[in-house]
Structure 1
């Protein structure tokens, strides 16, 4: 929903404010500050407001503060307003997850979640193609304002689409919010998956946030050419989410699929880091970005389906909200760290390598969890 808006405009914003890589990372990730603060409580809020009201209110909040941010000339004012916008976003993901949980069986839930997440990457395709053109014709502020209008207008769509939808009554277990949070942290599967999401989302968002800047500054591609590669990478990610989601449902082991996503993403991040040293042709860079989009953004729907599967459907909103706190924290911290490494080494190449190492670490974490479960199963069978 939100993620695709600033990256296509990053070059315009950096030039106007003369931002360092660290400050650009702070601006692009400030949206998730509000998410981090509210995510622990979104489950309780959604259970109180209901699914429809939660989605509608979140879209209005997101759109309003995005539009407001386009009027300010201070980078700190923009950062603050985007953080307020993030408070709305913290509601929408768990609310839609709860909707999917109620309407789809566990056998197809990985695919359903991935199709839901595909909407985010398709939004990325459209914004990567549309917003830079609007920024060239008018300016980046007008382009950003239009993005906010689009988000807010979707609140009307969901208001009427879900008008006849009635949320099931909230059980007493859902009302005991603190107890559900405690149960979440006692579940090792949920904690490991949440740690994995911290690293996976950090790599994913760093890639999509900084790809245009990398192509423009390090490889000297034009903004149009860089935005086009971002768009096709986002499109590949939309397809990848559906295919990876179907694969996870077919295999019945979501963590094994997540492991493969981590390994492949790590390999192609290393290849991307070499592109500035080896003078790779444009078509080869395009192929790398397409494959990276396919892999690095394919994990999210599977992860959210796994969180609900391992945490139980009764606590779906709470489990989604708490786990997404790790996710939003990963987006925020990795964006800052990635920008800082760019400032420190004057190149993105080492930053891609660091992301690759983080993905390998997180896949080893989930692989260890799979190995321990297999060992226990064999012991019981023996």
Structure 2
């Protein structure tokens, strides 16, 4: 066998790794992404308010607030295969047990446990793709992999409302458990480390504080912890996390409010409204791929794609506040637009974060950046639902999301201009 043959086979196998990571992402988030589509059914069967419905979405995201940090450390120490696989198994088991839940409180607890398992899937899948693909194709690969979440949401929005209407909401949990288990088995069975990867050096060789490598075990705990957090204080990381926080709030708003808005404001039937959410999720999957692929070739860098998304979602949400938003056809088109940009932004965003990480700390930086975003992931759905309940209107929710995005856009765009005008910058 020629020397180039193993490299050629490895080059082909990276697409298998990408497929496994994408499928596991979709499978692990399948049930949670379908909660918004089941909103009408859950409100009816469990007598929920909009805020309570939003809290269900947040419950699965609460544990990852800390779990993502832990997952990042585990990934850097033990690798992706078993850490991601074990996390997906936790999602499957918790949803399976949850199919016997007695009511709303039990369902909240089930989703909390599922969130603990899901903590490993997001950074683990991103780290696996970053390990296998070089910079020339990393954006495209990361976009395809990140498309797994809206693809899972697309399938969930199409399937779970039908299951809930026919068999009840408990059956939807069992369906989510089976899908998550398939994702776990696929990743553990197919994932392999890149062939160029060597045995990991001791943790002390990964320090970035300038101290001698051998002194790491004797350094004060506070000093070592500060060194680990140093990449998060980099201006580029602060900038991207700020923009991510605003855009992930928009994503949460799309998930929890789309079906309810179309049903209540434009008088679209609940099943049809769920199909619009399917279309929005599909547009988001396409956006994650297209926008990330564009960032591979953009002379303005990956962050320009994120700025474009911020402008686009602001325009879309403002359109919902105008009389255009009361037209069923126009509102449906706006939600597809919001899906493309309000979900698609994550592809170039996560590629940017992965490339900002120092060597050997990709898992930690990805997990930490995603953990910061978790604050908005947790807070946005119930806060937007409560705002709608208190005001009796969706307008304040769209206005709040628009204002957050505009502020983040102004701050981060100014920082980007300063970076580009600094001496020595191209």
Query: What is the TM-score with the length of structure 1 in the denominator?
Result: 0.93
**Correspondence 1:157-168 to 2 at 5 A:** 157-162=186-191, 168=198
**Correspondence 1:304-315 to 2 at 5 A:** 304-315=350-361
Are 1:273 and 2:321 matched, yes or no?
yes
CA shift, 1:169, in A, is 2.9
Change in 2 beyond 3 A, CA 1:359/1:278: closer
From 336, 347, 369, give the equivalent of 2:382. Answer: 336
> Runs ≥4 in structure 1, deviation > 6 angstroms?
164-167
Write the distance in 1 (CA, Å) between the matches of 2:320 and 2:206.
45
1:218 is aligned to 265
Write the distance in 1 (CA, Å) between the matches of 2:405 and 2:140.
23
1:303 is aligned to 349
2:401 is aligned to 355
Structure 2: where are the runs of 5+ without partners? 1-25, 208-215, 217-223
Write the distance in 1 (CA, Å) between the matches of 2:326 and 2:155.
29
CA shift, 1:285, in A, is 2.1
CA shift, 1:164, in A, is 7.4
Write the distance in 2 (CA, Å) between the matches of 1:86 and 1:180.
28
1:202 is aligned to 249
Change in 2 beyond 3 A, CA 1:257/1:164: closer
Query: What is the TM-score with the length of structure 2 in the denominator?
Result: 0.84
Measured against aligned partners, the alpha-carbon deviations of 1:296-332 in whole angstroms (never above 9, x if no partner) come to 1111121111112122342100000100111211110
1:122 is aligned to 151
SS where residue 37 of structure 2 aligns?
helix
**Correspondence 1:1-382 to 2 at 5 A:** 1=26, 2=29, 3-162=32-191, 168-171=198-201, 172=203, 173-174=205-206, 178-252=225-299, 253-274=301-322, 279-280=326-327, 282-377=328-423, 380=424
CA shift, 1:47, in A, is 2.5
Change in 2 beyond 3 A, CA 1:241/1:381: closer
Compute the RMSD of aligned alpha carbons. 2.1
Write the distance in 2 (CA, Å) between the matches of 1:21 and 1:381.
48
Measured against aligned partners, the alpha-carbon deviations of 1:325-377 in whole angstroms (never above 9, x if no partner) come to 11211110111210111111112122112111111111222201211112213
Change in 2 beyond 3 A, CA 1:206/1:279: closer
Write the distance in 2 (CA, Å) between the matches of 1:53 and 1:272.
44
Measured against aligned partners, the alpha-carbon deviations of 1:96-124 in whole angstroms (never above 9, x if no partner) come to 11111111111221111111011211111
Write the distance in 2 (CA, Å) between the matches of 1:186 and 1:235.
35
SS where residue 33 of structure 2 aligns?
coil
2:3 is aligned to none
Conservation of the 8 A alpha-carbon contact between 1:174 and 1:180? no
Larger radius of gyration: 2
Conservation of the 8 A alpha-carbon contact between 1:47 and 1:174? no
CA shift, 1:79, in A, is 1.1
Measured against aligned partners, the alpha-carbon deviations of 1:170-224 in whole angstroms (never above 9, x if no partner) come to 3334588735532123312112211221111011122122211222233332111
Write the distance in 2 (CA, Å) between the matches of 1:381 and 1:244.
24
Write the distance in 2 (CA, Å) between the matches of 1:300 and 1:38.
20
Write the distance in 2 (CA, Å) between the matches of 1:365 and 1:289.
26
CA shift, 1:168, in A, is 4.4
In the alignment of these two chains, the number of paired residues is 378
